[in-house]
Structure 1
Amino acid sequence: MFRSAMTQMPATDDPLGPILNVPPPALTEAECLAAVAAHWGIDGRLEPLTSERDLNFRLRTGQGDFVLKVVNAAEDAGVTEFQTLALDHIAARDPRLPVPRAIRARDGAASVLLAGGNRMRLLSWVEGVPMHRVVPSAALRRAMGSMAARLTRALEGFDHPAARHVLQWDIKHASRLRPLLPAIADADLRAICTRWLDRFDRQVGPRLMGLPWQVVHADLNSHNVLTAPDDPAHISGVLDFGDMVFTPRICDLAVAAAYQLNPDEAEASLMQVAEGWASILPLLPEEAALLRDLTAIRMVTTLAITSHRAARQPGNAPYILRNFPGARAGLLALPCPD
């Protein structure tokens, strides 16, 4: 399974492919409001939201708030459909999970094709305080682990042809990060990343074939997770399903752990996230054995991709690099065994 997934990688000089190299759409707010009115029959006002590759807004209306997404033109329509159907599946399997709901247009479509070639989607608004704004704690790390496991369980059994689309953020494709490493300016950090990729190629990647695979969220970073205003240890929302892929399910725990790691107590904080996960979805021994490695590889992925993309899109660099400092500190706190 792992080998077949790897053979689907496109032949390209840039492992990121177009989806991570094409800037976000450039529609005006007036154009977006006109499209929402025409296709959803909703009027309101827009507030810009940050995004890696789409054009996102908070749409405030008399009927409540929504997220308006103008999808990057490089995203295949099948991938957009995949994301919508995954949200539908989650809603059916675990309706209490605090995730967005897809709002159908007047004609029942989950997305509409705009004149310029971009697709537009409307999602329900999820309230909460972004996790990166709250003080980390052991309780929050455990809550993150349990929420990640609930989400993974809700996605069990879901599949779609586009689930196997290629996205370099997917940990199973870590071997393809090497051409991006020169963009990491710090030579010592670059060398550490190289050692981790060497270890991945020798000892981690070949073992992924024997693990349980499924569709996972794959981007549980602290900007995509919301906490309750009155209880910072309670997770009130999970956002941004744009990086979902079919991959070893343990990768979702590794992604979550990578953004929860406390450099001052790296191993303990990693285990706290794992404990939360195991309270919902017990870890197989072969999954537990690879968790530390996969967590480190996610941080290598963050350092490599963000450095490369920031150099190519300097105007969006502050947003692209928002997770770089945490990934650097976390990786330095997890020495490579080899």
Structure 2
Amino acid sequence: MPLENVFAEACLLEAAPARVSEAQVHEALRQHYAISGKLERLGGERDLNFRVILADGSSRLFKLSHPLENPDVVDFHNQAMRQIERHDPALPVQRVYPSLSGGFVESVEIEGQRMLVRLLSFVDGLPLHRVACTCEAFRQNLGQALARFDLALSGFSHPAAGHVLLWDMQHAQRLRPLLDYIEPGLRRDRVEHSLDRFEEQVLASAPTLRQQVIHNDMNPHNIIVDPEHPDVLRNILDFGDMVRAPLVNEVAVAASYQLGVSGDVLAPALDMIRAYHRVNPLLGEELELLPVLISTRLALSLCINFWRADLHPDNRAYILRNAHRAQESLAGLSLVSPAHIHDRILAACTQEVGA
């Protein structure tokens, strides 16, 4: 079912990825950044991404935005990265580099496709999704880093910060047409129930919540850890889903990816939530809504990813990379009442340090 009437951004997600050759990428790098190196194609939802391995062994990320991407949104991402670099330079976050002209984005035309290109930092390490099981120390480190991330962006504004984004939970209720892409049965019922609870318990409160620019996509593919010491966070990537939204949504998104898939699914996420709260305390109303928001994020992910996998079967494996985990986590949460989840989150956030 087309979604043009739901979000303009749906057109971008529905469109096939742009196509460029390695020779064309090399030419853009030479022309705008005066660098060359071995190229390694990386995955991406909307953009084309290439790791550039330089002669000295270091690497950069070369990103070509989709031809339909809004230039103001690209500038929003760049300015957010620069804001964090100024306000918390020690935070391990992706950086954007200037081109030969001194700008942080350049426009290129390849076979009639007008695209924006950027050169970003690339930190070697292990993507978190390749770590079989995270430890408590890592989850605490992640919570602290995410809290610092949000504190660095506190007060940051940009004309494109309020752009309408499909991955923004503020609009979750408008994703109901995508339920048709999830096979009928218990799994779809859980997703639909999560959307029901969002409408009933969150929608009316959302305008009164604290809002700011947030990362909005702290999933395991956007987190790099030390291969020898996977409790050490080395880098936070991908600002592509940034948006101005309720601050608590940031924690809900991150927590949804730290849930377990069996047994006590909530326990791992509590480590991250507790660590975030100690650095950037959440308010009572935010803590109260967190259980529903975590379920909402899982529901949103499943709706969007099954829809996009149907649209782009050649990219199905990448699109559905987190779907199984989301389904199992949502199933585990459905066995526990939101009130009990809230009680456990509150207990974790009021726990004494070292207890």
Shorter-chain TM-score: which interval? over 0.9
Secondary structure at the counterpart of residue 240 of structure 2: coil
- Corresponding residue for residue 332 of structure 2: 333
- Deviation, 1:13, is 3.5
**Match for 2:295: what amino acid?**
A
Deviating beyond 6 angstroms after TM superposition, the runs of 4 or more aligned structure 1 residues are none
**Match for 1:142: what amino acid?**
Q
- 1:103 and 2:97 matched: yes
Matched-pair contact (CA < 8 Å) for 2:6–2:174: no
- Corresponding residue for residue 28 of structure 1: 21
Counterpart CA distance in 2 for 1:288 and 1:331 is 19
Query: Which of 169, 172, 175 lines up with 1:171 in the alignment?
Result: 169
**Match for 1:133: what amino acid?**
R
- Deviation, 1:337, is 4.6
Counterpart CA distance in 1 for 2:123 and 2:184 is 38
Matched-pair contact (CA < 8 Å) for 1:140–1:234: yes
Counterpart CA distance in 1 for 2:168 and 2:142 is 20
Counterpart CA distance in 2 for 1:310 and 1:66 is 29
Per mean C-alpha deviation after superposition, the further-off stretch among 135-144 and 28-37 is: 135-144
Secondary structure at the counterpart of residue 231 of structure 1: coil
Query: Which of 204, 227, 230 lines up with 2:228 in the alignment?
Result: 230
- Corresponding residue for residue 112 of structure 1: 106
**Match for 1:141: what amino acid?**
R
Counterpart CA distance in 1 for 2:124 and 2:5 is 41
Counterpart CA distance in 2 for 1:266 and 1:226 is 23
Counterpart CA distance in 1 for 2:236 and 2:124 is 10
Q: Give me the CA root mean square deviation.
A: 1.5
Unaligned runs of 5+ in 2: 339-355
**Match for 2:328: what amino acid?**
A
Q: 1:138-217 residue pairs with structure 2 within 5 A?
A: 138-217=136-215
Q: 1:1-338 residue pairs with structure 2 within 5 A?
A: 12-13=4-5, 15=7, 17-62=10-55, 64-115=58-109, 116-134=113-131, 135-263=133-261, 264-335=263-334, 337=337
Counterpart CA distance in 1 for 2:198 and 2:182 is 19
- Residue by residue over 1:23-63, the C-alpha shift from the partner in whole angstroms, topping out at 9 and shown as x without a partner, is 22201111011011011111112100011111000001135
Matched-pair contact (CA < 8 Å) for 1:144–1:256: no
Paired-residue identity, % = 38
- Corresponding residue for residue 5 of structure 1: none
Counterpart CA distance in 1 for 2:208 and 2:293 is 15
Counterpart CA distance in 1 for 2:161 and 2:82 is 15
Matched-pair contact (CA < 8 Å) for 1:33–1:45: no
Counterpart CA distance in 1 for 2:66 and 2:116 is 8
**Match for 1:105: what amino acid?**
S
Normalised to the residue count of structure 2, the TM-score between the two structures is 0.89
Per mean C-alpha deviation after superposition, the further-off stretch among 137-146 and 198-207 is: 137-146
Secondary structure at the counterpart of residue 230 of structure 2: strand
Counterpart CA distance in 2 for 1:146 and 1:208 is 25
Q: Give the aligned length.
A: 328
**Match for 1:214: what amino acid?**
Q
Normalised to the residue count of structure 1, the TM-score between the two structures is 0.94
**Match for 1:39: what amino acid?**
H
Per mean C-alpha deviation after superposition, the further-off stretch among 171-180 and 228-237 is: 228-237
Counterpart CA distance in 2 for 1:227 and 1:271 is 20
- Corresponding residue for residue 6 of structure 1: none
- Residue by residue over 1:279-313, the C-alpha shift from the partner in whole angstroms, topping out at 9 and shown as x without a partner, is 21111111111111111100001100000000000
Per mean C-alpha deviation after superposition, the further-off stretch among 120-129 and 138-147 is: 138-147
Unaligned runs of 5+ in 1: 1-10
Counterpart CA distance in 2 for 1:198 and 1:337 is 15
Matched-pair contact (CA < 8 Å) for 2:4–2:11: no
Counterpart CA distance in 2 for 1:205 and 1:146 is 28
- Deviation, 1:14, is 5.0
Secondary structure at the counterpart of residue 114 of structure 1: strand
Secondary structure at the counterpart of residue 96 of structure 2: coil
Secondary structure at the counterpart of residue 214 of structure 1: strand
- Residue by residue over 1:182-216, the C-alpha shift from the partner in whole angstroms, topping out at 9 and shown as x without a partner, is 10114211111111111111111111122110000
Matched-pair contact (CA < 8 Å) for 1:100–1:239: yes
